[in-house]
Amino acid sequence: MFYIYCPYCGEHREEEEFHPKGQAHIERPKEPEACSDEEWGNYLFFRDNPRGVHHEMWVHAVGCRKFFNVTRHTVSYEILETYKMGEQPSITADSQSQAREGAAVSQQEGVRA
């Protein structure tokens, strides 16, 4: 059971009040007519399926009925952050792996000392 922070309501709510709405940050091509079939097909049908950090769109269906974004870890299901539409995530797969590398380096240094 998730306990999700709604950035619009400003508090944590039960998962029952929310619906997942798929991958976030998908931008519709500015000029659909100018798209190749492959570009249009990728936009319409193909979604990321990462193992690790994933950005998703959720809707607070029973509360304020606003859409917002959730950064979730697909292995641990941990919700790393939620943020409003139009905002950019502060936690990404890159920032997570950098943090992990940084931690690994400091551990090695610790071993040496």
Q: Using CB under 8 A as the criterion, which residues of the chain lie in contact with another protein when the complex forms? A: 8-11, 13-14, 16-17, 62-66
Give dist(CA 8, CA 96) in Å, integer: 26
Which residue is listed with tokens 């890159």?
A: 94
Based on CB atoms, which residue is closest to another protein, 65 or 112? 65
Within a 10 A sphere around the Cβ of 13, how many other Cβ atoms? 17
Residue 13 Cβ, how far from another protein at the closest point, in Å?
8
Cβ distance to another protein smaller for residue 35 or 59: 59
By the 8 A CB rule, do 96 and 53 touch?
A: yes
Q: Are 53 and 91 in contact (CB under 8 A)?
A: yes
66 or 73: CB nearest another protein: 66
CB of 41 to another protein, least distance (A): 35
